[in-house]
Amino acid sequence: MRQSSLVVVANRLPLDDSAARDGACEWRRSPGGLSGALHAILQQTPATWVGWDGETGLARVTDIGSVRLRPVTLSAAEQAGYYEGFANSTLWPLYHDAVQQPVFQREWWETYRSVNQRFAEAAAEVAGKHAAVWVQDYHLQLVPRMLRELRPDLLIGFFMHVPFPPPELFMQLPRRIELLRGMLGADLVGFQREQAAHNLAQLAQKLLGADATDDAITIDGRTVRTGAFPVSIDVAEMRTLATRPDVVAQVKQLHHDLGESKRVLVSVDRLDYTKGIEHRLTAYRELLRDGHVKVRDTVLVQVAVPSRERVESYRDLRDRIEGEVGRINGEYGRVGEPAIHYLNQPFSRSELAALYQTADVMVVTPLRDGMNLVAKEFVAAREDGAGALVLSEFAGAADELSGAFLVNPHDVDDLKQTLMRALEASPEDLAARMTAMRRHLAEHDILAWARAYLTELDHTGRLARRFIGRA
Ligand code: ADP
Ligand code: F6P
């Protein structure tokens, strides 16, 4: 296998099943922030991507453009213990403020550990001498240390896309010391928000007795740098899509189908309990009940793409959401005029770009979210400078998108009031807010993120110049 000087290691390869099955192997990404983010920067980069080939296994894995793919295949038992179990039933809920009770099953740990070891070995095999290896997310938290043991010559980065919790929560974790030591095998640990780096420093002091500040942790005679690098999106891609004639035509069609005179609220999420979909539906039902919104003048479009459906809590959530949408439509809808359009299916990038432009109010209200790229995609798509963004304070994006209507989604009254403020805001107010957000995004796109991270990783800017261009 050819060796690369940049290796990305992520749970998933960035392909979805249908793209690979027909053999076309175009660069079609699976829904989820991580692939979206990395997809944008790696297309022109001579790198290798190490990742799982998915629930059903890809029919064929070839290189995509300049990126070589190195699949890691998991057995059904490994998927259950590593992906559905320790990653998504233990770490995921715990790292998201335990909004859903984390499940601790002892037998999952060994599978998580051995799968991490397999990823580390695959990365060690494809990394050239002194290469940079960039490990992604909570699925692979043990990989940095394992990789350092296998290949001390490598420069190792780790980026956590999801929140990293405060000590009170992290301390609940069985195997907390191994998890902490695992990520501290990196030279640079990056997070979405500064609070996360602070949490790591406190934990390293408390659990490992390490010398730790919010920027650096000294352990085993090595210094691990830490910091916040808020991830972003391919702004140029979204802007281009938004102005494409077929997308403009789709926007027109959507307005027509939804009702020309209607105010349109849009939400786009993976169907995940962290996304606050139920709280949002409660708020919307109460606005209908109280007569603040009426189906003849307002409609909600809720896209909820299926996610992690083998995990019981996700299946239960889907049942509850579908029940609630049915109840709301049953009670408030009229013939040909539902209160909510609910779509449980994947959308193409161009369909998403059209939907974002159809929104009078984009409603992004996770209970906790590392970043939330949907909020940024919405802003990037609004070439018209119109539209309101209602955004949870608990999404990383809230630190940056100052023009949003910020809301505490746990507080249904606040949600209702904020939705009404956004619906009733003047066009001038909305334009000023949107201009500020678009200005910020233009300078903080995905390339800026990768450049900032890689520059900090090697200190010299050489890596960033080589892989991202324009330092
Ligand atoms: P997460 O990483 O938790 O999934 P983000 O909001 O950061 O959340 O990223 C979600 C990504 O998935 C976005 O890039 C969004 O465009 C994409 N996405 C969301 N819903 C769909 C859908 N129905 N079809 C295709 N992609 C989707
Ligand atoms: O951002 C968190 C994350 O787990 C990403 O790693 C991934 O892109 C996304 O959510 C989707 O999750 P999954 O890979 O489990 O479908």
Give the pLDDT of the chain (471 residues) as one tens digit per residue: 678 899 999 999 877 655 544 444 455 566 666 776 677 677 667 789 999 988 766 656 667 777 888 999 999 999 999 999 999 999 999 999 999 999 999 999 999 999 999 999 999 999 999 999 999 999 999 999 999 999 999 999 999 999 999 999 999 999 999 999 999 999 999 999 999 999 999 999 999 999 999 999 999 999 999 999 999 999 999 999 999 999 999 999 999 999 999 999 999 999 999 999 999 999 999 999 999 999 999 999 999 999 999 999 999 999 999 999 999 999 999 999 999 999 999 999 999 999 999 999 999 999 999 999 999 999 999 999 999 999 999 999 999 999 999 999 999 999 999 999 999 999 999 999 999 999 999 999 998 999 999 999 998 888 888 777 654
For residue 31, give the ligand 2 atom closest to its CA.
11
Is-catalytic flag, 96?
no
Calculate helix-pair angle for 412-424, 277-289, nearest 10 degrees. 70
Q: Active-site residue among 16, 53, 187, 369?
A: 369
Are the beta carbons of 365 and 391 closer than 8 angstroms? Answer: yes
Are the beta carbons of 133 and 156 closer than 8 angstroms? Answer: yes
Same domain? For 358 and 423 the reply is yes
- pLDDT for 460: 81
Same domain? For 194 and 271 the reply is no
Q: Is 36 in the pocket of ligand 1 (CB under 6 A)?
A: yes
Residue 368 Cα to ligand 2 midpoint, Å, equals 14
Ligand 2 mutation pick, 9, 15, 29, 34, max ligand atoms within 8 A of CB: 34
Q: How many domains does the chain have?
A: 2
Biggest CA pair distance of the chain: 70
Q: In this structure, which residue's CA is closest to atom 2 in ligand 1?
A: 33
Same domain? For 166 and 292 the reply is no
Q: Which is nearest to 123 in space by CA: 274, 270, 5, 256?
A: 5
Same domain? For 42 and 172 the reply is yes
Ligand 1 mutation pick, 17, 39, 233, 270, max ligand atoms within 8 A of CB: 270
Same domain? For 410 and 268 the reply is yes
Same domain? For 341 and 219 the reply is no
DSSP three-state, residue 113: helix
The domain in which residue 370 lies consists of 235-443
pTM over 0.85: yes
Same domain? For 142 and 182 the reply is yes
Residue 32 Cα to ligand 2 midpoint, Å, equals 5
Q: Which ligand is nearest to the CA of 11?
A: 2
Q: Is 33 in the pocket of ligand 2 (CB under 6 A)?
A: yes
Looking at the DSSP assignment, which residues form a beta bridge with residue 51? 71
Is-catalytic flag, 440?
no
Q: How many CA atoms lie within 13 A of 454 on its CB side?
A: 27
Same domain? For 225 and 327 the reply is no
Residue 373 Cα to ligand 1 midpoint, Å, equals 7
DSSP three-state, residue 281: helix
- pLDDT for 85: 98
The long-range contacts involving 108-112, CB below 8 angstroms and separated by at least 24 positions, are 108/81, 108/82, 109/174, 109/175, 110/81, 111/77, 111/78, 111/80, 111/81, 111/82, 111/85, 111/86, 112/81, 112/82, 112/85, 112/86, 112/87, 112/142
Same domain? For 425 and 455 the reply is no
Same domain? For 225 and 112 the reply is yes
Please state, in angstroms and rounded to a whole number, the distance separating the CA atoms of residues 227 and 219: 17
Q: In this structure, which residue's CA is closest to atom 16 in ligand 1?
A: 374
- pLDDT for 290: 98
Please state, in angstroms and rounded to a whole number, the distance separating the CA atoms of residues 319 and 312: 11
Please state, in angstroms and rounded to a whole number, the distance separating the CA atoms of residues 423 and 216: 45
- pLDDT for 56: 62
Please state, in angstroms and rounded to a whole number, the distance separating the CA atoms of residues 182 and 173: 14
Same domain? For 189 and 145 the reply is yes
Please state, in angstroms and rounded to a whole number, the distance separating the CA atoms of residues 352 and 249: 13
Q: In this structure, which residue's CA is closest to atom 11 in ligand 2?
A: 32
Q: Which two tokens stand for residue 24?
A: 């076309």
For residue 83, give the ligand 2 atom closest to its CA.
15
Q: In this structure, which residue's CA is closest to atom 15 in ligand 2?
A: 308
Looking at the DSSP assignment, which residues form a beta bridge with residue 225? 188, 216
CATH number at residue 208: 3.40.50.2000
CA-based torsion, 329, 335, 340, 346: positive or negative: positive
For residue 36, give the ligand 1 atom closest to its CA.
14
For residue 35, give the ligand 2 atom closest to its CA.
8
Same domain? For 63 and 111 the reply is yes
Q: How many CA atoms lie within 13 A of 209 on its CB side?
A: 2
Q: Which two tokens stand for residue 117?
A: 């070891």
Q: Which ligand is nearest to the CA of 344?
A: 1
Residue-by-residue DSSP string for 156-167: EEEE--S----H
Conformation bin of residue 342: beta by default, left when phi > 0, alpha when psi is -120 to 50: beta
State the burial class of residue 348 (Cβ atoms within 10 Å of its Cβ: 0-12, 13-18, 19+): exposed
Q: Is 371 in the pocket of ligand 1 (CB under 6 A)?
A: yes
